[in-house]
Amino acid sequence: MSTSLSRYLVEQQRAKGKIPPELRLLLEVVARACKSISHSVNKGALGGVLGSASTENIQGEVQKKLDIIANEVLIDANEWGGHLAAMASEEMDSIYLVPNRYPKGEYLLLFDPLDGSSNIDVNVSIGTIFSVLKKPDGVEDVSEKDFLQSGSQQVTAGYCVYGPQTTLVLTVGNGVDMFTLDREQGSFVLTHEGIQIPADTKEFAINMSNMRHWDDPVKKYIDECLQGKEGPRGKDFNMRWIASMVADVHRILTRGGVFMYPWDKREPSKPGKLRLMYEANPMSWLVEQAGGAATNGKQRILDIVPTQLHERVSVILGSNNEVERVTGYHLKP
């Protein structure tokens, strides 16, 4: 018999003691929200959800209609259940406190409601990324500084990718498991357990159009990959770049590879394009839980203590030996 997400979570709570009841509720609610977002994504033009809204987010990016819809779905689903104290999102300037009319819980939820926004209108895989932290002990009135915890403090993290299949990928610190949405049953079903990323790979993911802006260690690594069998690596590499981090990371969890969005010279004052707290941290933890590695070139991403909610970071993650190699090129140029 197949295992539904609900059963899996109850078993994790009961037998393995890995998750408290409030966290189980939180994950059920996030999964329900993802189901609803999946429904809107699937409707596409028929649901009138494609195209841009006339607003910008705090990062100065034009919001798509689906960015806003997904953000609202996640807030509406999560604010009343009593499991959260506050939320933060790529699409909101500051944190969202659970309104006083609802009971408050112990957890802080962070999310990128719709990652890969540039792919929405062209019908390419996109997704929702989320990370959960605990409210610091003794804090009554949550403020932004209570969110500024390193990724190693996450209690659960995951993403849902809306592709040919809708797949929810989770960790509660006990490995990585995947659930596929069964649309007839209306529930997520456990389809892959104990995901492991191979330590070696012949596949890299990077936006090559930025090559002239990269730093030397990244140029050196990619140049060696491009030389293939005739170069120092002695093997041919393949390249993939979906421009949706969820989809690129999903491929890496499925068959290995290395993903990079490094710092580059276009905007030298920014540490990178991707956001630490709701993109890099959850993905880094998933990758580490699957036996891979994640660094910013110099240090483990999960060790970075954020100073801002929307902080950016350089990202190198995936197959262990490749991440070590690129990181080594940064540390010993």
Provide the binding-site residues for Mg ion, judged by CB under 5 A.
Answer: 112, 115
Tokens linked to 310: 């929307």
Q: How far is the CB of 106 from Mg ion (least distance, A)?
A: 26
Please, what is the minimum distance in Å from the beta carbon of residue 207 to ligand AHM?
A: 4
Spatial separation of the C-alpha atoms in residues 259 and 49, rounded to whole Å: 30
- Is residue 284 part of the contact set for ligand AHM (CB under 6 A)? no
Query: Residue 244, interface with ligand AHM (CB under 6 A)?
Result: yes
CB 31 within 8 A of CB 168: yes
CA–CA separation, 314 vs 325, rounded Å?
Answer: 16
Count of residues that bind ligand AHM according to CB under 6 A: 12
Per DSSP, the residues of 110-170 read: EEEEEE-GGGTTTT--EEEEEEEEEPPTT-SS--GGGG---GGG-SEEEEEEESSSEEEEE
Tokens 């070139």: give the residue: 297
Instruction: State in angstroms the smallest separation of the CB of 115 from ligand AHM.
Output: 5
Task: Round the CA-based radius of gyration of the chain to a whole number and report it.
Answer: 19
Judged by beta carbon distances under 5 to 8 A according to partner kind, the member of Mg ion, ligand AHM, none in contact with residue 243 is ligand AHM
Rounded distance, CA 284 to CA 138, Å? 28
Q: Which of 89, 117, 156, 281 binds ligand AHM (CB under 6 A)?
A: 117
Determine contact, residues 105/85, Cβ cutoff 8 Å.
yes
169 binds, among ligand AHM, Mg ion, none (CB under 5 to 8 A by kind): none
Judged by CB under 6 A, does residue 245 bind ligand AHM?
Answer: yes
Smallest separation, CB 186 to ligand AHM (Å): 27
Which CB, 117 or 284, lies closer to ligand AHM? 117
In the complex with Mg ion, the residue whose CB is nearer, 112 or 248, is 112
Closest alpha carbon to 154 in 270, 29, 246, 279: 279
Residues 148 to 187: which contact ligand AHM by CB under 6 A? Answer: none
Nearer to ligand AHM, 81 or 163 (CB): 163
> Exposed (0-12), middle (13-18) or buried (19+): which is 87, by Cβ within 10 Å?
buried
Considering only residues 34 to 63 of the shown chain, the ones binding ligand AHM according to CB under 6 A are: 61
Stretch that binds ligand AHM, among 145-153, 241-249, 250-258, 296-304 (CB under 6 A): 241-249
Q: Whose Cβ is closer to Mg ion: residue 282's or residue 297's?
A: 282
**Residue whose CB is less far from Mg ion, 115 or 288:** 115
Least Cα distance to 280 among 271, 134, 136 occurs for: 271
Q: Which residues are 210's β-sheet partners?
A: none
- For residue 57, the minimal CB distance to Mg ion (Å) is 10
The residue of the chain with the least Cβ separation from ligand AHM equals 245
Closer Cβ to ligand AHM, 28 or 322, answer by number: 322
Q: Report the C-alpha gap between 193 and 215 in whole angstroms.
A: 38
Residue 273 CB coordination number (10 Å): 20
Tokens of 237: 């590499």
The four Cα atoms 248, 51, 80, 29 give a dihedral, to 10 degrees, of -30
Q: How far is the CB of 41 from Mg ion (least distance, A)?
A: 15
- Choose the binding region for ligand AHM from 32-40, 115-123, 192-200, 289-297 (rule: CB under 6 A): 115-123
Tell which one of 87, 95, 108, 116 touches ligand AHM (CB under 6 A): 116
Q: How far is the CB of 139 from ligand AHM (least distance, A)?
A: 29
- Contacts with ligand AHM by CB under 6 A lie at 61, 90, 112, 115-118, 207, 243-245, 261
